[in-house]
């Protein structure tokens, strides 16, 4: 049973949605130089995330949108009022969006923000409030200024902390009367796996593993300072961390498989441990030391982390994988990872293994570990949708996916988990993060646009739209 006041909605990110990448003074972000990669083998993780300094420079000299679909998104920048009206029709009580840092600070180093950017977000949040939709806002969702990436190698350099804190302060000061629920870094653990999109760290500049862990430490410090500012500047403001919940099972009960799984789990959870408990877990510090990785602690960091911990724990959940020490075990891709295939689970068209029970397991694990309110801020299935002769997408597979996940969420709540809310990824079709495909569709609302930008951009409800509306209206009792 879902509790009264449970928040129901959807989640979006500016870089995959807004478009208008060079409008009103906005500067380019790391997402705007990330190319369309439809043909890449999704189990080839390296190929998916490889980018060099010269790729970035070449991308910046190309002002087009063809190779870089995130530059066009779904034109949410100009169409948000209509899109919010559709979300209101769905009955949303919350919507997660992110702020594009470069719409406020084009290079990240300006002293004052662009008023056009401020006006856009003020209007967006005001319109949400008019529809009684509670905004939940991510400050950093894979879209840092590319200028900071090129100049400092992104978050690998400590000076980026100050630039982020200046941006975060402006967000709290200018939007704090409209936004009470905040997240600092989307999937903060992701920087270890995809350092460029997550933190502007360019793989061809030095030791990428060391640089990624340095960047992660700087993000922890920045997140803690932003949490302090949120508490100081936003009346009733609450800050959450955001983790990619990568639940991993041992492929077999062979103890070596279990031990390897345990290591994966410790590594996945440690960024949330830092943000909830205010310190690095000793086992992780030992492991980093063994691997010759230095955490660039400066005087005062330990106290900052300890004093400014988060109020709630949010996470994304799409799939699970397994772990095995057998080098021949069949591989399976997932959200920003590649693991080992689970013979008991079906897969999406992109090979992600669909596991509703894994959501219940994840919720119970997270609540037992952190004892903080949880918020599932991303969950959904990317599919190739076909528009029927009647002009409608009949997406029973999507309804089946969500229904099964909601049943498991409900069981976790019955088991005692404190879950504040749920936002599906993404309520409307948007450009995918990993491959920049428009054809990887997640929405309840179809957007008439193909991978190459052809289409009218018209929005049309799919079958799942009416179904999700009914779920929300019944507070999850009518699935």
Nearer residue to ligand BG6 within complex by CB, 37 or 394: 37
173 is catalytic: no
Q: 186, 212, 219, 261: which one contacts ligand BG6 (CB under 6 A)? A: 186
* Catalytic residue (one of 18, 127, 143, 187): 187
Q: CA–CA separation, 453 vs 66, rounded Å? A: 8
**Distance of closest approach, residue 442 Cβ to ligand BG6, in angstroms:** 7
Q: 127, 157, 187, 355: which one contacts ligand BG6 (CB under 6 A)? A: 187
Nearer residue to ligand BG6 within complex by CB, 91 or 154: 154
Residue 250 has φ and ψ, to the nearest 5°, of -70, 140
DSSP class of residue 70 equals G
Q: 425, 444, 465, 468: which one contacts ligand BG6 (CB under 6 A)? A: 425
**Distance of closest approach, residue 187 Cβ to ligand BG6, in angstroms:** 5
Q: CA–CA separation, 476 vs 465, rounded Å? A: 15
Do 353 and 321 meet the contact criterion of CB atoms below 8 Å apart?
A: yes
Please give the size of the binding site for ligand BG6, defined by CB under 6 A. Answer: 15
The token duo for 302 is: 């330990």
Bridging pattern class, strands 445-447 and 459-461: antiparallel
Q: 183, 304, 433, 445: which one contacts ligand BG6 (CB under 6 A)? A: 433
Using the rule CB under 6 A, give the single segment among 202-210, 431-439, 458-466, 471-479 that binds ligand BG6. Answer: 431-439
Q: Mapping DSSP to helix (H, G, I), strand (E, B) and coil, where does residue 121 land?
A: helix
Share of the chain residues as helix, strand and coil, in percent rounded to the nearest 5 = 45, 15, 40
Site map (CB under 6 A) of ligand BG6, residues 80-99, x = contact: --------------------
Using the rule CB under 6 A, give the single segment among 231-239, 339-347, 432-440, 448-456 that binds ligand BG6. Answer: 432-440
Do 380 and 442 meet the contact criterion of CB atoms below 8 Å apart?
A: yes
Q: 309, 322, 432, 464: which one contacts ligand BG6 (CB under 6 A)? A: 432
Q: Mapping DSSP to helix (H, G, I), strand (E, B) and coil, where does residue 48 land?
A: helix
Q: Mapping DSSP to helix (H, G, I), strand (E, B) and coil, where does residue 96 land?
A: strand
Distances (CA, A) of 289 to 193, 280, 284: 19, 13, 8
Q: Mapping DSSP to helix (H, G, I), strand (E, B) and coil, where does residue 447 land?
A: strand
- In terms of Cβ atoms closer than 10 Å to its own Cβ (0-12, 13-18, 19+), residue 356 is buried
Site map (CB under 6 A) of ligand BG6, residues 316-355, x = contact: x------------------xx-------------------
Rule CB under 6 A: which of 369-388 touch ligand BG6? Answer: 378, 382
DSSP class of residue 383 equals B
DSSP class of residue 325 equals S
187 is catalytic: yes
184 binds ligand BG6 per the rule CB under 6 A: no
Rule CB under 6 A: which of 117-176 touch ligand BG6? Answer: none
- Intra-chain end-to-end CA distance of the chain, in Å: 12
Using the rule CB under 6 A, give the single segment among 17-25, 67-75, 255-263, 433-441 that binds ligand BG6. Answer: 433-441
Partner residues linked to 96 by β-bridges: 11, 136
**Distance of closest approach, residue 40 Cβ to ligand BG6, in angstroms:** 11
Catalytic residues: 187, 378
- Binding stretches for ligand BG6 (CB under 6 A): 13, 16, 186-187, 244, 316, 335-336, 378, 382, 425, 432-434, 440
């Amino acid at each position: 049973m879902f509790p009264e006041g449970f928040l129901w909605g959807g989640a979006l990110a500016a870089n995959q949605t807004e478009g208008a990448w060079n409008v009103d003074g906005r500067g380019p972000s790391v997402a705007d130089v990330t190319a369309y990669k439809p043909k890449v083998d999704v189990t080839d993780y390296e190929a998916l995330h490889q980018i060099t300094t010269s790729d970035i420079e070449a991308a910046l000299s190309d002002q087009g949108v063809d190779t870089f679909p995130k530059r066009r998104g779904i034109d949410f920048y100009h169409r948000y009022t209509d899109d919010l009206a559709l979300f209101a029709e769905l009955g949303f009580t919350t919507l997660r969006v992110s702020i594009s840092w470069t719409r406020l600070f084009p290079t990240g180093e300006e002293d004052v923000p662009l008023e056009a950017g401020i006006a856009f977000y003020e209007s967006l949040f005001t319109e949400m409030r008019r529809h009684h939709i509670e905004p939940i806002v991510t400050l950093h969702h894979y879209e840092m200024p590319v200028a900071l990436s090129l100049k400092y190698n992104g978050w690998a350099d400590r000076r980026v902390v100050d630039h982020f804190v200046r941006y975060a302060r402006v967000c709290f000061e200018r939007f704090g009367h409209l936004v009470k629920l905040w997240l600092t870094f989307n999937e903060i653990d992701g920087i270890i796996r995809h350092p460029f999109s997550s933190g502007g760290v360019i793989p061809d500049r030095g030791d990428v593993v060391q640089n990624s862990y340095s960047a992660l430490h700087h993000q922890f410090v920045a997140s803690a300072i932003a949490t302090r500012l949120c508490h100081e500047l936003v009346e009733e403001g609450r800050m959450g961390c955001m983790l990619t919940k990568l639940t991993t099972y041992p492929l077999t009960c062979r103890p070596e498989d279990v031990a390897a799984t345990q290591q994966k789990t410790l590594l996945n959870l440690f960024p949330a441990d830092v943000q909830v408990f205010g310190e690095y877990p000793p086992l992780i510090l030992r492991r980093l030391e063994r691997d010759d990785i230095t955490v660039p602690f400066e005087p005062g960091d330990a106290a900052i982390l300890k004093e400014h911990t988060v109020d709630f724990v949010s996470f994304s959940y799409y799939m699970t994988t397994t772990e095995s020490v057998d080098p021949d075990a069949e591989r399976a891709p997932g959200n920003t990872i590649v693991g080992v295939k689970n013979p008991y689970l079906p897969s999406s068209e992109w090979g992600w293994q669909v596991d509703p029970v894994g959501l219940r397991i994840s919720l119970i694990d997270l609540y037992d570990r952190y004892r903080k309110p949880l918020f599932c801020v991303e969950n959904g299935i990317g599919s190739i949708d076909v528009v029927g002769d009647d002009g409608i997408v009949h997406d029973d597979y999507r309804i089946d996916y969500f229904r099964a996940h909601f049943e498991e969420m409900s069981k976790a709540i019955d088991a005692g988990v404190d879950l504040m809310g749920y936002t599906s990824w993404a309520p409307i079709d948007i450009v995918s993060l990993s491959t920049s495909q428009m054809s990887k569709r997640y929405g309840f609302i179809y957007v008439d646009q193909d991978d190459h930008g052809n289409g009218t951009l018209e929005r049309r409800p799919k079958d799942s739209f009416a179904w999700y509306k009914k779920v929300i209206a019944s507070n999850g009792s009518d699935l």
